[in-house]
């Protein structure tokens, strides 16, 4: 979707659909291949020409789907958390703008680099570093497919802050994958990093796993949720007193999608994973009301005694090599999935 519409929805805590494609690894100038040789039975999942063709096709479908809030078409090129986030936005759009009087501006993705692992089987995946025609922001896009006869679908679309570390490549210039349970070369196994991040986001900086992570603005915004707490107020149905929720809990868990990992030239890794964040506000004998995009997502305005808000958060982090350092967040994107 357009960044103009994105900005408006983000103010309500929602994310619009962003789609792009990429494939293979196109080694930028000055980025010499590094790492071991290719596995004889494994091939790069796509050529660069195929990647660019996919990028154009997905952008075309994305603009069509955005124009009509078409969830069926969205499902042709998005899956996993990206589909769940963007389909929620489409549901909001169909309620708030059923006649499409405020059309979304079309945009195109341009690939800065493709990071394409070799794979002898399925599922397969790759990473694309992209920019878009309507913004200066860059997005890291993860695409995956489950079988050779199934389409590539975008599964992560995280906004990048800063620069990527230099990515490792084998002797043919293709990206190098790392097992998600690797405990021998990294500060911590990527699976364990995702779990530690979820624990940190649940309990805050006092949680022991917090020491693994360098401070970042996205995690801080989730933990320091005073504004959210202040806005989730209830009216006591007996006394008429308006007050914040008596009980407020935040729980973050890792979603059951693969943790996808690429090697960096310093021996570290780039890991991509998804967490689910749930906030529950409760007030006995209380009533809370929501409006606008939130009400459209929920399908109602009034909540008696309890409201549960669910977000999905997409993360791309750098894990340092074994021996020291902290995990750093490189890219992130979130969106409300439901309000119940």
The Cα–Cα gap between 204 and 40 comes to 46
Confidence of residue 147 (pLDDT cuts 50, 70, 90): very high
Instruction: Say what the pTM is.
Output: 0.88
- In tens, the pLDDT along 12-63 reads 333 333 333 333 334 333 333 334 444 446 788 898 889 889 999 999 999 9
pLDDT at residue number 41:
63
CA distance 258 to 79: 13
What's the mean pLDDT when you consider all of the chain?
88
Q: What is the pLDDT of residue 123?
A: 95
Cα–Cα separations (whole angstroms), residue 76 to 62, 67, 125 = 10, 15, 16
Structure tokens at 47: 């050529």
DSSP letter string, 308-336? EEEEEEEEEEEEPBTTS--BEEEEEEEEE
The SS3 assignment for 216 reads coil
Q: Assign 277 to helix, strand or coil.
A: strand
When pLDDT is averaged across residues 113-139 and rounded to a whole number, the result is 92
- Cα distance between residue 118 and residue 46, in whole Å: 9
Calpha distance 20→78 (Å, rounded): 9
Which of 252, 254, 236 has the alpha carbon at shortest distance from 244?
A: 236
Q: What percent of the chain has pLDDT over 70?
A: 88
The string of pLDDT tens digits covering residues 300-319 is: 999 999 999 999 999 999 99
Beta carbons of 81 and 155 less than 8 angstroms apart: yes
Q: Whole-angstrom Cα distance, residue 67 to residue 89?
A: 12
d(CA 100, CA 95): 10
The pLDDT value recorded for residue 189 is: 98
Q: Mind listing the pLDDT tens digit for each residue in 209-218? A: 999 999 999 9
Provide mean pLDDT across the span 329-334. Answer: 98
- How far CA 293 is from CA of 65, 80, 322, 336, in Å, comes to 19, 22, 45, 10
Task: Please give the backbone phi and psi of residue 123, each rounded to the nearest 5 degrees, phi first.
Answer: -70, 165
Pairing of strands 233-236, 118-119: unpaired
Higher pLDDT, 330 or 33: 330
Per-residue pLDDT, averaged over 85-109, amounts to 90
């Amino acid at each position: 979707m357009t960044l103009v519409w994105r900005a408006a929805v983000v103010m309500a805590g929602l994310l619009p659909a962003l789609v792009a494609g990429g494939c293979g690894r196109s080694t930028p100038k000055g980025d010499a291949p590094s790492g071991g040789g290719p596995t004889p039975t494994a091939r790069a999942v796509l050529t660069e020409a195929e990647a660019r063709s996919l990028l154009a096709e997905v952008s075309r479908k994305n603009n069509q789907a955005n124009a009509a809030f078409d969830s069926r078409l969205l499902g042709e090129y998005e899956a996993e958390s990206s589909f769940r986030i963007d389909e929620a936005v489409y549901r909001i759009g169909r309620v708030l703008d059923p006649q499409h009087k405020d059309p979304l501006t079309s945009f195109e993705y341009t690939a800065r680099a493709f990071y394409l692992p070799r794979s002898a089987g399925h599922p397969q995946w790759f990473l694309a570093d992209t920019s878009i025609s309507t913004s200066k922001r860059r997005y890291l896009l993860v695409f995956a497919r489950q079988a050779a006869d199934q389409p590539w679908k975008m599964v992560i679309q995280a906004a990048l802050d800063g620069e990527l570390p230099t990515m490792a490549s084998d002797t043919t210039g293709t990206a190098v994958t790392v097992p998600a349970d690797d405990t021998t070369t990294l500060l911590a196994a990527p699976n364990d990093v995702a779990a530690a991040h979820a624990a940190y986001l649940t309990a805050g900086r006092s949680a022991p796993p917090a020491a693994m992570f360098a401070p970042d603005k996205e995690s801080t915004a989730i933990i320091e949720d005073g504004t959210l707490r202040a806005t989730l107020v209830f009216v006591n149905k007996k006394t008429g007193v308006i007050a914040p929720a008596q009980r407020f809990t935040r729980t973050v868990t890792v979603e059951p999608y693969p943790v996808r990992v690429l090697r960096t030239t310093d021996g570290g890794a780039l890991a991509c994973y998804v967490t689910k964040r749930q906030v529950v506000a409760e007030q006995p004998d209380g009533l809370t009301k929501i409006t606008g995009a939130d009400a459209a997502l929920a399908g109602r305005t009034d909540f008696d005694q309890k409201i549960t808000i669910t977000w999905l958060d997409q993360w791309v982090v750098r894990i340092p090599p074994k021996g020291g350092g902290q995990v750093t967040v490189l890219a992130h994107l979130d969106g409300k999935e439901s309000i119940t």
